Amino acid sequence: MAKYSKKAGEKVGEAMHEMKEGKLKTGTGKKVTSKKQAVAIGLSEAKEAGAKVPKKK
């Protein structure tokens, strides 16, 4: 299994929390409704912040 940094886990947790509150938006401004999309956004933000995120297979 891929190893994610603690920072990446925190970013994903924040994204999930925002999604559940209805505040998480996509790049085009639409509301995020799926958990998979929220995880992807969290990992993307973590990667931008310099956290250890494995490459896609």
Predicted structure pTM score: 0.84
pLDDT at 57: 75
Distances (CA, A) of 34 to 2, 21, 39, 56: 22, 13, 9, 20
pLDDT at 39: 94
Backbone angles phi, psi at 51, to 5 degrees: -75, 160
Task: Return the pLDDT at 54.
Answer: 86
pLDDT at 42: 94
pLDDT, block means (10 residues), the chain with 57 residues = 87 96 94 94 93 84
